[in-house]
A and B are shown apart, each in its own frame.
Chain A
Amino acid sequence: MMRYFKLVNFELGRFFKLYGVIIGITILSQLVGLWVVSNSYMERANYAMFEENLSPAQFVSDNGEMSLLVLTRTLWFLGPIALGAIALLFNIFFVWYRDWFGKNTFIYRLLMLPTARINVYLAKATSILLMVLGLVAIQIVLLPVESVLLKWLVTRDFRLDLAPAEVVSGFRELMIILPAGIIDFILAYGAGIMVIFILFTAILFERSYRIKGIVFGAIYVALATGIFLSPIILEGIIGTNYLYPMELLVLEIILGLIVSAASIWVANYLLTKRITV
């Protein structure tokens, strides 16, 4: 167990520089974006009031109020989130292939550690999950900070103050990243972990059987996804909602756990019996 924690720490350390850059870009882009978007709004408001003699109420009625929701729909806000998502998705593959290719053959060392090889797999998955949660935590901290900044940048007449939860619920895509309740959180991140396990296992198929492994990996991904989505697919074929939403939810959770456990089991088999350096 101790070696698993050490491996998690080690894997986090290896991605830390790039991760730091992503965090830096996220903070900088959102804060600069807020400043730019707010200033541009106020410039338009001032122009309308002084040049067109509109009252603040008339301007707001024509242009809407300035709130954090306006920021969330700009590239300043969405760009770094997309960048983080792409980087972490890329890392799912990079976290394995960098140990095989390039100047080093670090995979030899990882596979020769006196610990169960599945710990390497679990540590790599954990490090990705922790990095995702880290980015989410930064977003949770950033929203109230941005809320305060907005109060400095935009006068009361033009501003709509929203609580961070209201910002999130006003923006559908953000709700996936920052779910409203604990159940939603577990579902969104549980599904995310399952996807990491499925992809990791597919990568290990490729690393074990090479070209044939790509086919095996693709079949595995299709099979795992099919099993997980089978109730929804079946309902689609039957054409009726056979299950109550709660039943469907429980069934999906059970299937998600089965698919995740199966992925770990298959990965363990591949790592101990089939892997080739």
Chain B
Amino acid sequence: MIEVKDIKKKFGRKQVLNGVSFTANKGEITCLIGINGVGKTTILNAIMALTPVNSGEILLDGQKVTKQSFEKITFIPDAITMIPQMTIAEAMEFMDDYYDSWNQNRATELLGFFKLKQEDKISSLSKGNTAKVNLLLGLALDVDYILMDEPFSGIDIFSREQIADVFTSHLIEGRGVIITTHEISDIEHLIDKVVLLDEGIVLKEFNSEEVRESEGKSVVDVMREVYKA
């Protein structure tokens, strides 16, 4: 389980996170929703120790994030995390070199799934295909938790569909996923848990299936209620 406990973060004078708390379980897809600039990316960066928080605590299976954690959790940011001059094959070789959790069979499977050519240079790829490479590099790690920052932003409809298909496949099954988005429509039917953020705080944290069953509301209905209130 990923536990985010009362984290606060300031950028200069701006209080971006003002006591954010939520949990994300293994085997579930948790979606952080909020408008741009609400601090979604900052939360993911903080979980990965890529930016410090002013106060609060983040635990991964009850432990603080250390170098060993990176064999257990991975982050797929919205920009490519490899050198653009590398080919996809070189990028995979790099990952294999450094991560014990790298699963080459799964990487090969993902290459086929996304219809990517491993001899292609990353810099020569379209935005959609670059996003797919980024996803491949994260998903091919045998980790328990995956964080994804806006995986659908700025890419074409077919690539979005392909990426959305990943969520229903065995590639995600059994893992804990935190995904951020400001466009819920692509994945509304896939998510288990929703965390609604605004002005640095969690407005509401709910289980989408439960709300659907008990109140007959979709995620968008709840969002409308919360954000318009």
Provide the residues of chain A in CB contact with B74, threshold 8 Å: 112
- Stretch binding the partner chain, chosen from B23-31, B94-102, B176-184, B202-210: B94-102
Within 8 Å of chain B (Cβ to Cβ): is A274?
yes
Provide the residues of chain B in CB contact with A53, threshold 8 Å: none
| Contacts known (A275-B50, A277-B45); A114 close to B81, Cβ less than 8 A | no
- Stretch binding the partner chain, chosen from B65-73, B106-114, B165-173, B217-225: B65-73
Number of A residues, CB within 8 Å of B:
23
Interface string of B38-80 (1 = CB under 8 A from A): 0000000100111110000000000000011111001101011
A203 to B94, CA, bound (A): 26
- Taking a contact as CB atoms under 8 Å apart, the answer to whether A273 and B45 are in contact is no
Q: Pick the contact of B70 from A103, A113, A272, A276 — CB < 8 Å? A: A113
Within 8 Å of chain A (Cβ to Cβ): is B155?
no
A272 to B83, CA, bound (A): 23
Number of B residues, CB within 8 Å of A:
26
Provide the residues of chain B in CB contact with A159, threshold 8 Å: none
Could you tell me the distance in whole angstroms from the C-beta of A215 to the nearest C-beta in chain B?
15
A275 to B84, CA, bound (A): 23
Q: Pick the contact of B81 from A105, A115, A273 — CB < 8 Å? A: A105
Within 8 Å of chain A (Cβ to Cβ): is B118?
no
Within 8 Å of chain A (Cβ to Cβ): is B21?
no
Residues of chain A in range 149-205 having any CB-CB distance to chain B below 8 Å: none
Which residues of chain B have a CB within 8 Å of any CB of chain A?
45, 48-52, 67-71, 74-75, 77, 79-84, 94, 97-100, 123
Which residues of chain A have a CB within 8 Å of any CB of chain B?
3, 6, 10, 14, 103-106, 108-109, 111-117, 272-277
